[in-house]
Amino acid sequence: EIVLTQSPGTLSLSPGERATLSCRASQSVSSSSLAWYQQKPGQAPRLLIYGASSRATGIPDRFSGSGSGTDFTLTISRLEPEDFAVYYCQQYGSSPELTFGGGTKVEIK
Amino acid sequence: EVQLVESGGGLVQPGGSLRLSCAASGFTFSTYWMHWVRQAPGKGLVWVSRIKSDDSSTSYADSVKGRFTISRDNAKNTLYLQMNSLRAEDTAVYYCGRGDTRSIGYWGQGTLVTVSS
Structure confidence by residue, pLDDT tens digits, A60-100: 999 999 999 999 999 999 999 999 999 999 999 877 889 99
Spell out the long-range contacts of A50-55 with Cβ–Cβ below 8 A and sequence spacing 24 or more. A50/B100, A50/B101, A50/B102, A50/B103, A50/B105, A51/B101, A51/B102
Apex B17 CA angle, B13 and B19, nearest 5: 130
Distance, in Å, from the CA atom of B22 to the CA atom of A97, rounded to the nearest integer, reads 20
Q: Which residues of B touch A97 (CB under 8 A)?
A: 47, 50, 59
Structure confidence by residue, pLDDT tens digits, A26-67: 999 998 999 999 999 999 999 999 999 999 999 999 999 999
- Minimum-distance CB partner of A44 among B35, B50, B107: B107
- Contact with chain A for residue B107, Cβ under 8 A: yes
Structure confidence by residue, pLDDT tens digits, B58-67: 999 999 999 9
Do the Cβ atoms of A101 and B59 come within 8 Å? no
Q: Give the pLDDT score at A94.
A: 75
Q: Give the pLDDT score at B16.
A: 98
Strand order in the sheet with A19-29: A4-7, A19-29, A63-76
| Residue positions counted in chain B | 117
CB A9 within 8 A of CB A101: no
Q: List the single best residue of A34, A98, A99, A104 to mutate versus B (max B Cβ within 10 A).
A: A98
Q: Give the pLDDT score at A95.
A: 74
Distance, in Å, from the CA atom of A79 to the CA atom of A74, rounded to the nearest integer, reads 13
Residue A20: is its pLDDT beyond 80?
Answer: yes
> Chain A window 30-89: which residues touch B at a Cβ cutoff of 8 Å?
32-33, 35, 37, 39, 43-47, 50-51, 56, 88
**Which regions of chain B are under pLDDT 70?**
none
Which amino acid is it at B4? Answer: L
Q: Give the pLDDT score at A9.
A: 97
